[in-house]
Amino acid sequence: MRGLAPLRRQYPTLKWIPSQNLHITLMFVGECGDDEAYSLRERFLRIDHAAHPFSITWKGIGTFPSGGPPRVLHLPVQEGSDEVRRLHGVINHTLWKEKRGGRFFPHITVARVKGKSGERQIKREMLCKLGASIQGGSVVDRIILYRSQLRQNGACYSNFGSLSLGRQDDLEEK
């Protein structure tokens, strides 16, 4: 990921997401039991995913929340954000039949701020300066449903099903 190195050096105490785990969260379900998880998976695998793969780009660095102490550093999706929003809407409708959650903002989380000391160390002006050179892009060609199960040593994530965009015959089950 071009441009993140200066930020990692400036803010080493943040919980940085490993590059291989970077992704766009289209929907976060939260805690649910096995029956609900399998029901959601069944509905997920029936999503109309006839959309074709598309490209996204990101530029700069953003924070959540936008006001007050930052808790999350993210890469805002620039090109392709309309397609990402459409996928979010399709998933939301297929899984719930009604709008769930607040406003959706396409982004890639790159770091989380832990504790009050972490919040105090982040200066938005420095973030903007260091983050100005961050840019990149990727092709979105699949949607993966991850299951998160809490363990004593943290969450364990597993691929619970995936859909390849534009290919009806390529359903995976794990």
Confidence of residue 25 (pLDDT cuts 50, 70, 90): very high
> Mean pLDDT throughout 119-148?
86
Residue 166 has pLDDT above 90, yes or no: no
pLDDT at 120: 65
Compare 155 and 21 and report the one with higher pLDDT. Answer: 21
Mean pLDDT across the chain:
85
pTM attached to this predicted model: 0.84
Expressed in angstroms, the distance from the first to the final Cα of the chain is 29
pLDDT value of position 171:
46
Whether the per-residue pLDDT at 71 is higher than 60: the answer is yes
Q: 83 versus 121: which is more confidently predicted?
A: 83
Residues acting as catalytic residues: 23, 107
Cα–Cα nearest to 6, from 171, 134, 120:
134
* DSSP tag of 100: -
Please count the other Cβ atoms lying within 10 Å of the Cβ belonging to residue 101: 11
Instruction: Delineate the domains of the chain, giving CATH numbers in brackets.
Output: 5-172 (3.90.1140.10)
pLDDT mean over 38-59? 88
Q: What percent of the chain has pLDDT over 90?
A: 34
Give Cβ neighbours of residue 5 (< 8 Å, ≥ 6 apart): none
pLDDT band (50, 70, 90) for residue 127: confident
| pLDDT of 137 higher than 90 | yes
